[in-house]
Structure 1
Amino acid sequence: MLLAYPLSVHAQKRKNLIFMISDGFGMTSEAMAREFMRYGNEDTMNWASTMDTMLVGTSRTRSSSSLVTDSGAGATAFSCGTKSYNGGIGITSDKKPCGTVLEAAKSKGYRTGLVSTARITHATPAAFAAHVANRGMEDLIALQEIGNNTITHSVDLMFGGGRCQFLPKSHDDGCRSDEIDVLELAKRAGYTRLADRDAFDSLDTASVRLPVLGLFAESHMSFEIDRDEKEQPSLAEMTTKALQILDRNSQDGPGFFIMIEGARIDMAGHDNDPATHLRDILQYWEAVAAVRKFVDSHSDTLLVSTSDHETGGLTLGIDPQYEWHPEVLAPVRKSAELICSEMKRMSSDKLRDHVVNSVLPNYLGISDAGDGEVLNILSAATSPTKLCKRMVGQTVSARAHIGWTTGGHTGADVGLYAYGAGAGGLRGSYENTQIGAFLARYLDVSMGSLTKALVNEVTEQHGFSDGSSDSA
């Protein structure tokens, strides 16, 4: 079944489409954040989040290769309107490049943008502007994103992390496997390049000309709970500035299309780190609120938000108690990622004192830690990093009576949200590919001719090893 427009909306002029992806964000995550915001205040019993007020349906998340998708296949379903296998980026299940809604919009004169708190070459943003056989091929993705591909459709605006992927391996901050300086190529292609918070703040949205490339971290941007606001802009700030720039630069054309990702919601879910998961959700809410404000003043604009999948199998309430405690999350001050990184740099003779006097009371807000909790954190410090993060996160989770079934993704349906002109056309339960079809129909673009043009696109990265990719 294809999604249909209400006749009243179909007849209206359509201009801008803002597509937001809350990576790894399930319905239980929304409930957790909502209850955190209203705990201890009975007067807020009917309070709803900005997401709650625009819920229109659900999205089904399976990929072509599994009932549990990864972000590459999940984002490709949205970008191409077709199923792909886990790990595929802008590519069909038989490994053929597929034209994306962003590329189709660009070819029709729309301005385009990608914003993410992950590396801009990570799976979700990549699936809208690149075509590779494996999501780990980020060297090739970086080149394709700036237009070094068959159809040379560079993205007009990119804000996020991942600067190292644009620098040659001989550079002190480079993480490419080759000596290509993609930042220099971007400069030659006319990109205004931003490397830090100061450059972001000083960017004049009234005069800047596209294209713009802002990379504000070497790899992923910080979790919101760890973010130094003097060093990195927030997702909401990047969103607001991106909309201002695209709006101003699309006045003489059909409009703009942008994909905005709250990426680190997912990564905190992988870590089973509830307080960090929460803070990135709340920041995503702020970004959504900023978009809604934009939509309210632009009647020709639609906001659509959904998730590629749920992460962690989050449960509010663990056996046998019928309860959970949102107040436990309030005093947490650092992510499990940062805590583990810090502990692993500690000498063994200082570790116990650090755990007892800093990690538990100051970082996790646990002032009455039992012997078991102390031993758990000490054991985490000497465990592999992935396990360390989950052990730290689960220490907080146990106190809050929050459970997790996995450190990976689940096959659960996710929420579908919409606001603005045409929102009613999304009411119901849909396959993720149908949402991709909706995006294309809303913009009145077709990906078919682009798919044909991409037949000779290079989708394999020379010397790539599967072991270098992740599965977030």
Structure 2
Amino acid sequence: MREHPLSISHLSNHSSQDTQTDFAALNVLGNIPAPTTAIDACLDNGFHLDNGLKLTNGDGLLLVGGEAFSWRPWTAMGGEKNAMVNKKGQFEVDEQAWGLLGLQRSKWAFWKDVGLFSWAFIATIAVIVLAVVYQHETSKNHSAKQPWGPGGKPTGKRNLIFMVSDGMGPTSLTMTRNYRQFTEGLPVDQTLVLDDHIIGTSRTRSSNSLVTDSAAGATAFSCAHKSYNGAISVLPDHSPCGTVLEAAALAGYKTGLVVTTRITDATPACFASHVNLRGYEDRIAEQEIGEHPLGRVVDLMFGGGRCHFLPNSTEGSCRGDDRDLIEIAGQKGFHYLNDRKAFDSLNGGSEAKLPLLGLFAEKDIPYEIDRRSQDGVYPSLEEMTRTALKTLSQATADSDKGFFIMIEGSRIDHAGHGNDPAAQVHEVLAYDRAFAAVLEFLEQDSTPGVVVSTSDHETGGLAAARQLHDAYPEYKWLPGVLANASHSSEFAGATLREYLSKNPDAKSQRKFVHELLEKSLGVFDATDEEIDHLLDPKLPYTNNYVFADIISRRAQIGWSTHGHSAVDVNIYASSTKDAWRLVGNNENTDVGAFLSDYLEVDVEDVTRRLQTPSEWTWKPEVEPSTSTSLSWLGDPLGEAVRTDGLDTYHGEFKKRSMDLETRECGCGELH
């Protein structure tokens, strides 16, 4: 088909006036084939079309500036006089036919565009909705986490070792790592054993405070439930909650507790006892040896706290009554150890027999920095850990069940309460060695197992830097200052108090303090003001704090509190494969849920049994009337005590005094 030159004439009486017209749409009536070339349509009489007019051959479309126009074959509509091609190939349209051309867009093109727009709009909305749904499901699945890692859910016999670094926050690890590298001359890539096994973090709040205490923190681990500060495995309504250790014991696992504080302290207590307030340590001791609704649930206990087991008529007792729990424990089958010699007789566990009760100190085992010089008196955390693991492994050798044990580096927390950096680095190093011992055991033992380690909270608000003066500080802290210390501030404080009780003269006092600082803390430049402070008889707090501040300032270590802080704490494990659920950031109750799920034990059924007196193996002298007012839990807290929900501001910025005659720092015992 040949091309036709095309011009469009507007036959009008107003041809003397040229007009330029922009077309949005043009219906052309004619019987000519569609030209294929782009043209300039110059009108002879009154108007023209812009460049870009393109008529395509045979497809029925006329394109002007890229827009589609209908092209339809000639019909009789309007007659030949209205629309015709003249002899010159010009398309002539008279005034009447001009109205038929219309300047209106074809209905087909309009509705086609509407349809395309609608389809694009709906498709876009659909894509957005699908993307949002996908992201939501992905986020939900991530937050829920897959319960088990690449290895799948554990099957068969297994061991679970749960370690608690009480009061150890992230900065404790930084400070200890720096200290070790400095004192041992190590390169910066030589870190702690723990550093190589970090898998996540844990949030620490309790049911009634953003800052938890050890009791509520350990209840989250043992029961997988939030409770109030001070609660020993009881819920905010004061009803007991079953623990993973109790459930494990009932399921046939052997169980153990190893600590460096009192065995009746908050963390170990939460796994094997239930009381309304952590201060009921005499009652906790009774439950730990078997005066418990479920009977005896612990097979092995190593730690301190002997004073809570001795009758108050005995030297070294701290009980409020004359009950001899050591004797009662013996009647229940416990083998009792009370010193280093007896511990050594276990031969690393190969000579041990369960149940086993080892109480190696009246109260807490000394800080590691002090214990080193008394190694013949107290076993270390690492030694107790190795012996306990071998004992439990040996005891379960012929069983289809393994064991569950909780091991605590208890006094990391106490060093934080005392703001003593030298004591804390040695506690963390001792804990790191115990963790390494557990890894070694898992590697060598024939029974599959996993170790999970975390902290209940951070203590002290530790900072590895300190601004000493008003001037802008230097960026540094000095681990060498801590390396000079041979004892803790607790040791120095106790030594000074004992000396002052003999009423020496003032000159002798000052000389003694200077020598004590040099020998115990490695401080040779004490100021007169510091000496005066230590000897002030009206000092409103323990002199332990003064000794700790003297060394902290020189090391440029900062502390924000003598209590706990709300910071997230680290989670460590022997394998991410076996502790997959704890990868990432977790609630502390997630840790507790993992423990019971790993062992496949029913903690909620234990809770039901604890709250059903008719199912108890042991019953107290006074029969309880309801499960929420159980006499064996101790006195309930008053209604004024808030056990759930957060407190509000009461003007605490104002300085408030403390009656030190009735209350002194308990190093975490009460808080």
TM class, shorter-chain normalised? over 0.9
Once the two structures are superposed, the pairs formed by residues 150-161 of structure 1 within 5 Å of their partners are 150-161=293-304
Query: Deviation digits for residues 202-247 of structure 1, max 9, x if unmatched?
Result: 1242243210000000011111111110100001000000000000
Q: Give the equivalent residue in structure 1 for 2:427.
A: 280
Secondary structure at 2:242's aligned position in 1? coil
Aligned pair partner of 2:544 in 374, 383, 389: 389
Aligned pair partner of 1:197 in 340, 344, 349: 340
Q: What amino acid is the match of 1:47?
A: Q
Which runs of no fewer than 5 residues in structure 2 stay unpaired?
A: 1-142, 468-472, 614-629, 642-661
Q: Give the equivalent residue in structure 1 for 2:462.
A: 314
Q: Is the aligned partner of 1:48 residue 2:211?
A: no
Q: Give the equivalent residue in structure 1 for 2:555.
A: 400
Q: Is the aligned partner of 1:361 residue 2:518?
A: yes
Deviation at 1:11, TM superposition (A): 4.8
Contact 1:343 1:351 in 2 (8 A): no
Q: Classify 1:364/1:11 alpha carbon distance in 2 versus 1 (closer, same or farther; 3 Å).
A: closer
Secondary structure at 1:8's aligned position in 2? coil
Aligned pair partner of 1:67 in 190, 207, 210: 210
Contact 2:149 2:579 in 1 (8 A): no
Aligned pair partner of 2:390 in 241, 244, 261: 244
For this pair of structures, how many residues does the alignment match? 469
Q: What amino acid is the match of 1:222?
A: P
**Structure with the larger RCO, 1 or 2 (CA within 8 Å, 6+ apart):** 1
Once the two structures are superposed, the pairs formed by residues 178-327 of structure 1 within 5 Å of their partners are 178-204=321-347, 205-227=349-371, 228-253=374-399, 254-298=401-445, 300-319=448-467, 320-327=473-480
Secondary structure at 1:49's aligned position in 2? coil
Query: Deviation digits for residues 61-83 of structure 1, max 9, x if unmatched?
Result: 00001000000000000000000
Identity %: 46
Contact 2:422 2:483 in 1 (8 A): yes
Deviation at 1:464, TM superposition (A): 11
Q: Is the aligned partner of 1:132 residue 2:290?
A: no
Higher-Rg member (1/2)? 2
Contact 1:89 1:133 in 2 (8 A): yes
Q: What amino acid is the match of 2:461?
A: G
Q: For 2:430 and 2:504, locate their aligned partners in 1 and report how far apart those are by CA, in whole Å.
A: 36
Which piece of structure 1 moves more, 48-57 or 365-374? 365-374
Q: Give the equivalent residue in structure 2 for 1:426.
A: 582
Which piece of structure 1 moves more, 8-17 or 458-467? 458-467
Deviation at 1:353, TM superposition (A): 0.9
Contact 1:192 1:213 in 2 (8 A): yes
Q: What amino acid is the match of 2:412?
A: I
Q: Classify 1:427/1:149 alpha carbon distance in 2 versus 1 (closer, same or farther; 3 Å).
A: same
Q: Is the aligned partner of 1:461 residue 2:634?
A: yes
Q: Give the equivalent residue in structure 2 for 1:114.
A: 257
Q: Classify 1:283/1:412 alpha carbon distance in 2 versus 1 (closer, same or farther; 3 Å).
A: same
Secondary structure at 1:121's aligned position in 2? coil
Give the TM-score of the pair, scaled to structure 2: 0.67
Q: Classify 1:47/1:378 alpha carbon distance in 2 versus 1 (closer, same or farther; 3 Å).
A: same
Q: Give the equivalent residue in structure 1 for 2:18.
A: none
Give the TM-score of the pair, scaled to structure 1: 0.95
Which piece of structure 1 moves more, 400-409 or 205-214? 205-214
Secondary structure at 1:158's aligned position in 2? strand
Q: Give the equivalent residue in structure 2 for 1:441.
A: 597
Query: How large is the Cα RMSD of the aligned pairs?
Result: 2.1
Q: Give the equivalent residue in structure 1 for 2:121.
A: none
Q: For 2:609 and 2:437, locate their aligned partners in 1 and report how far apart those are by CA, in whole Å.
A: 37
Which runs of no fewer than 5 residues in structure 1 stay unpaired?
A: none
Q: For 1:464 and 1:217, locate their aligned partners in 2 and report how far apart those are by CA, in whole Å.
A: 31
Contact 1:15 1:443 in 2 (8 A): yes
Which piece of structure 1 moves more, 462-471 or 169-178? 462-471
Deviation at 1:378, TM superposition (A): 3.0
Q: For 1:425 and 1:90, locate their aligned partners in 2 and report how far apart those are by CA, in whole Å.
A: 23
Q: Is the aligned partner of 1:471 residue 2:670?
A: yes
Q: Give the equivalent residue in structure 1 for 2:292.
A: 149
Secondary structure at 1:10's aligned position in 2? coil
